[in-house]
Amino acid sequence: MKWTEKYKKAITFSYDDGITQDIRLVELMNKYGIKCTFNINSEKMGMPSTLDREGNTLSFYRLTAYDVKKVYEGHEIASHTLLHKRLTEMTDEGVIEAVEKDRLTLSELVGYEVVGFAYPCGGVNHDDRVAGIIKEHTGVKYARTNKKTDSMQLQHDLYKFLPNVSHVMQGDRLDVLTERLINYNGDEPQILYIYGHSFELDFDNKYWAKLEEYFKFISGRKDIFFGTNKEVLL
């Protein structure tokens, strides 16, 4: 049964890169009945990575294949390309390989067909050509961009899906949109789509506390459907 038959409101989460901080995040999500989609680079599983942010270099580790299968049980695994390279700079064949090979490897690993996708890299990480290739030549059924929208209406172009807000890093934007969803009384279904990277929560311990507070605040609301991306979008 599609969620819109019973609900007018849904909240879904999307976290990228398949990193060890996700273990703590999934425990929190499970505690509060929150559902999430995790976007994985299959050829980077088990590898260390670094990230430059605000003048600091952060180190983090990607979960191994064994852990990916176990840690995310009850949530959705989606593709994030094989190696986290920018698709707009690749040939058509390169895009197909980076997406479809990743999707098939992950499908085999988790034992169900992976149909979700999140574009890797910040800045301009997608365009019409890349979205068209993914739609025509891969088994991906929805692809999340990094361009935010204020609208929580159902979206028609699922290959350039726009999220609403990056979890706890954006001041009060999350609270404002959540309040709007909670107070919504209309007939059109609304989706609040929240995304992020769990290593960002390590920047400051207050972020972990803030996110748990948020989960506590939204959880158990009878008029909100909590589903993975594919359950909510497809």
Q: How far is the CB of 122 from Zn ion (least distance, A)?
A: 9
Q: How far apart are CA 37 and CA 127, in angstroms?
A: 23
Nearer to Zn ion, 17 or 200 (CB): 17
* The residue to which tokens 């999220």 are assigned: 163
Q: How far apart are CA 152 and CA 164, in angstroms?
A: 7
Nearer to Zn ion, 3 or 117 (CB): 117
- Closest alpha carbon to 233 in 142, 145, 167: 142
Q: Which of 10, 16, 105, 141 binds Zn ion (CB under 5 A)?
A: 16
Nearer to Zn ion, 120 or 196 (CB): 120
Q: Which of 116, 120, 163, 227 binds Zn ion (CB under 5 A)?
A: 120
- Closest alpha carbon to 224 in 4, 64, 27: 4
Q: How far is the CB of 83 from Zn ion (least distance, A)?
A: 11
Q: How far is the CB of 197 from Zn ion (least distance, A)?
A: 7
Q: Which residue is nearest to Zn ion (CB)?
A: 16
Is 200 an interacting residue with respect to Zn ion (CB under 5 A)?
A: no
Cα dist from 121 to 83, 152, 188, 196, whole Å: 11, 24, 32, 12
Query: Rounded to a whole number, what is the largest CA-CA distance in the chain?
Result: 48
Q: How far is the CB of 9 from Zn ion (least distance, A)?
A: 28
- Binding interface with Zn ion (CB under 5 A): 16-17, 120
